Amino acid sequence: MKNLAEILGIHVFFAWLIVVFGSLLILAGITRATFFTFVDSYEIGYEFNQQTGKITVLPRTGYFVVVPFKTIVHTIDGRPMQVRIESNNRVLNAKLVCFHRCDEGVLQFVQMHGRQDYSQQDLAPILMSYAYENYGGYQNDKMLEKKYKFLEIKLSSGINSANSQEENPWTLSNDSITKQK
């Protein structure tokens, strides 16, 4: 039969083992939260350097090492989403849009809307406003994509769709609108 000292010695060893393991686990969690960030595969990441004010688009997805109080990593959701104009529970027009993955587009978007994380819920009304800009006017989807580098219209229905190759038949001359022949 074991004596009391052996039993207490084993318990003290396991108590110290639990304290050390728990401390390492807490330290690992703090390190992960402070020095690492993750950009998902469907997200577009960009980094803001707080000291220089420079914005850099991240070249890949995955884990990134960040220096606290110097760099901040923000993400933009790059998945396609349907934006539509509805009336009385009927869809009048619908477009399948997504954020275009290019450095120029990210920088243009951040300049226009500011730095933050943009989820699909945040991004849908913004992209909808650009996708339907001048709706019914002379700009088709390709012209809008050229104007806004961050906008990509994958599918479109309605009068301004990308497959519409017509030029603007209306001209403004001498304060009156006339149709060209």
Overall size of the chain counted in residues:
181
CB-based contact 116:71 (threshold 8 Å): no
Interval 70-122: pLDDT, tens? 999 999 999 999 998 888 888 788 899 999 989 999 999 999 999 999 999 99
Span 36-64, mean pLDDT? 94
CB-based contact 162:140 (threshold 8 Å): yes
Residue 154 and residue 126: Cα distance in Å, rounded? Answer: 16
Minimal CA–CA distance to 48: which of 28, 150, 130, 37?
Answer: 37
Tell me the three state secondary structure of residue 24.
helix
Minimal CA–CA distance to 35: which of 72, 89, 75?
Answer: 72
Interval 119-147: pLDDT, tens? 999 999 999 999 888 776 666 788 888 99
CB-based contact 77:124 (threshold 8 Å): no
